[in-house]
Structure 1
Amino acid sequence: MAEYDDYEDPGFFNSSNDSRQEHKHYLQFSKIFLPCTYVVVFVCGLLGNSLVLIISVFYQKQKNLTDVFLVNLPLADLVFVCTLPFWAYASIHEWVFGNVMCKTLLGIYTMNFYTSMLILTCITVDRFLAVVQATKTYNQQAKRMIRGKVICLLIWLISMLVSLPQVIYGNVLYLDKLICDYHDEEISTVVLTTQMTLGFFLPLLAMIVCYSVIIKTLLHARGFQKHRSLKIIFLVVAVFLLTQMPFNLVKLIRTTSWEYHAMTSFHYAITVTEAIAYLRACLNPVLYAFVGLKFRKNFWKLVKDIGCLPYLGASHQWKSSEDTSKTYSATNNVEATSMFQL
């Protein structure tokens, strides 16, 4: 976590008064920036992912593989954001939750981060198959549903194994104040490489390969939803790159060049890029759920059920969505042109 840098290590910053002063400025910055970021991501992520999870479980029948993934994705993001209040408190004060809680939260935080990234990869591959093998995919829905549930179980197990090093090496340390931390130098390069591969390079490769084929297919499609689908694809890839690439590049530098730990500017880079990476938990509900017509229809049902919307207004929304959905289904290349209808 970025807040681990919220202490002054005289071993790193003893070269000059300017360096110590610069690091003090960094500490003041992190005490304000980190808690604010954690609170924003926690509130937005909690509301968005809870809403997606409620609608997916109670209002939306799991008719295809993407629906299965869209239950596990908000669940992983939801558990992930629920660890942030602990880190927010620790960044302002110190770690007061004990060693067991430290190991547990480090494990939960890491496990759900990689679970979320792997599920995003599966959603990308599923959309790819829905385009290039539309007929075969439709005829094998039952088998695909079973495989999807098995894949989700494997994803959770793999993420749990990948997070074990953080649990093993995580401890409460005293460095000017109590912090919950783990040391990268105690974790093998193989483990760090595996984590970076699962957390960034694998999803990135899947997006590049799968969405390239999807875009090529859409360009030859006649459906009027082609341009909307292309915009959504570019948005998904752009958000992923903008939120995940900076932090992973910084992590890559950190694993190869330890001398950067002595640079205050590098600590700024870690803090800011990691905070940006957390935005993924807030944006996933928008990118992978709210863009779907079926999901928006069920959202209005939920709003009506809790009494926040007049019945007529809700009915109008449902009718509009149903009519539009029927129109989409009637077009050629339905899998390609309405694949984001979810």
Structure 2
Amino acid sequence: MEGNLSYLLDRGSSEDTVVDYMSPTASSSAAYEYSFYPELDISCDFENIPAFASTFFPVLYSLLFMIGLVGNALVIWVLTVFKKVRAMTDVYLLNLAIADLLFVFSLPFLVQYSIVSQWTFGNAMCKIISSAYFIGFYSSAFFITIMSVDRYLAIVRSVYALRVRTTAHGVITSLVLWVVAILASTPDLIFFQEMNYHNQTKCIPHYPDSNNGWKTFSNFEVNALGWLIPVGVLIFCYYSILKNLQKCQTQKKYKAMKLVFIVVIVFFLFWTPVNIVLFLDSLRNMYIIDDCHTSQRLDLAMELAEALSFVHCCLNPIIYAFVGEKFKKHLWEAFRKYACFLLICKDYSAFSGRSLDKHSSLHTMSSQSSFVGTVL
């Protein structure tokens, strides 16, 4: 398997274009030894690509799998068992965790691929895993975007939000976003297949007639749906939210503003590099970039950028759930009940903590706390 966002970055492989670098989880540096770009009439020696990647990426992806699995599963557990998904925000948070889990589930296959250096799961699994990865990729970006819109409506358009921020609308919107994510991932289901290159079995896309246009289109699709549109919406929504937060006079104001900056900065930090590399890869497909040295650097950048993007699915539970005061209250309640069940505690109140939600004696302070609490 050509590896998570290596899918994105090597989507144009064909019989006429043999790019024989392996995924980030390749088991030896020998996988990088040689590449030939016949349409560019250049041959590249990849011996300089760091050998540490063959051991670093499997360890990194194993850790990310465990952290992402535990964090997102914990969010789903609390929302479905204890909080009961009663609000639109809960619906989006639940779907974001499911999307990140789809994203995370491709990691064990990449780790296994690093051991045997080729795809061993068959053609059907090649299509399933690549499709699941891309569905998780798109849906994660979509739900981060719609959660920003939800916060914008709750704070900036609070009167209008009373009519539209319902659980039913949240479910309908979520279904639409899943359908769009599946449709955007359809080319990967169609074109990804198990293929044999240089006596090695790989899971890579095979486009008809060696058409680089498909690969370029796929790259731009990821750039638009996975970065440009979400970033535009995030900037607009959170800029409007920050303007409204400045009117608040509570201590929670600065905590909420800090969270807003964290959301935007983290999205930029972890998704911008891979989209830049995708754009440069598109330039290579159009032969604007056609020298060997740049191609070498671009292939290495592909490996590093995709690894960075996977970290984001582990941070989402922290950014969107664990820092929220309401969610922390439900999380504490869940652990408290579970601990009491395991320890058969006699004094249930011994596990009780002070409520995280403090009520002000002044009505205006209470109103402002609720206002800021929408962000937290």
TM-score w.r.t. length of structure 2:
0.81
Deviation at 1:173, TM superposition (A): 2.3
Taking the aligned partners of 2:90 and 2:364, their CA distance within structure 1 comes to 18
Deviation at 1:80, TM superposition (A): 1.6
Taking the aligned partners of 1:272 and 1:328, their CA distance within structure 2 comes to 52
Taking the aligned partners of 1:70 and 1:56, their CA distance within structure 2 comes to 8
Structure 2 residue 156 is the aligned partner of structure 1 residue 132: yes
Q: Return closer, same or farther for 1:300/1:188 CA change in 2, 3 Å cut-off.
A: same
Which of 198, 203, 207 matches 2:230?
203
| Deviating more after overlay: 94-103 vs 299-308 | 299-308
Q: Return closer, same or farther for 1:283/1:339 CA change in 2, 3 Å cut-off.
A: same
Match of 2:130 in 1: 106
| Deviating more after overlay: 37-46 vs 282-291 | 37-46
Percent sequence identity over aligned pairs: 29
Q: Return closer, same or farther for 1:138/1:32 CA change in 2, 3 Å cut-off.
A: same
The SS at the match of 2:195 is strand
The SS at the match of 2:47 is helix
The SS at the match of 1:26 is coil
Deviation at 1:312, TM superposition (A): 4.6
Taking the aligned partners of 1:239 and 1:290, their CA distance within structure 2 comes to 16
Which of 26, 39, 53 matches 2:76?
53
Match of 2:273 in 1: 246
Structure 2 residue 60 is the aligned partner of structure 1 residue 37: yes
| Deviating more after overlay: 306-315 vs 157-166 | 306-315
| Deviating more after overlay: 218-227 vs 124-133 | 218-227
The SS at the match of 1:323 is coil
Q: Return closer, same or farther for 1:47/1:313 CA change in 2, 3 Å cut-off.
A: farther
* 8 A contact 1:65–1:148 mirrored in 2: yes
Taking the aligned partners of 1:188 and 1:12, their CA distance within structure 2 comes to 15
| Deviating more after overlay: 323-332 vs 289-298 | 323-332
Which of 326, 348, 358 matches 1:323?
358
> Given residue 230 of structure 1, which amino acid in structure 2 is its aligned partner?
M
Match of 2:36 in 1: 11
| Deviating more after overlay: 275-284 vs 215-224 | 215-224
Taking the aligned partners of 2:100 and 2:326, their CA distance within structure 1 comes to 21
Match of 2:115 in 1: 92
The SS at the match of 2:358 is helix
TM-score w.r.t. length of structure 1:
0.88
Structure 2 residue 332 is the aligned partner of structure 1 residue 278: no
* Per-residue Cα deviation, 1:153-195 (whole angstroms, up to 9, x for no partner): 1111111111111111112222342221125836254443233
* 8 A contact 1:95–1:178 mirrored in 2: yes
Gap runs ≥5 in structure 1 = none
* 8 A contact 1:34–1:275 mirrored in 2: yes
Aligned positions of 1:235-314 closer than 5 A: 235-258=262-285, 259=289, 262=292, 263-307=295-339, 311-312=348-349, 314=351
* Per-residue Cα deviation, 1:117-162 (whole angstroms, up to 9, x for no partner): 1011000000000011223323554xx3222111101111111111
Q: Return closer, same or farther for 1:123/1:87 CA change in 2, 3 Å cut-off.
A: same
The SS at the match of 1:216 is helix
Q: Which of the two has greater helix per residue?
A: 1
The SS at the match of 2:250 is coil
Taking the aligned partners of 2:65 and 2:360, their CA distance within structure 1 comes to 33
Deviation at 1:306, TM superposition (A): 2.5
Match of 2:143 in 1: 119
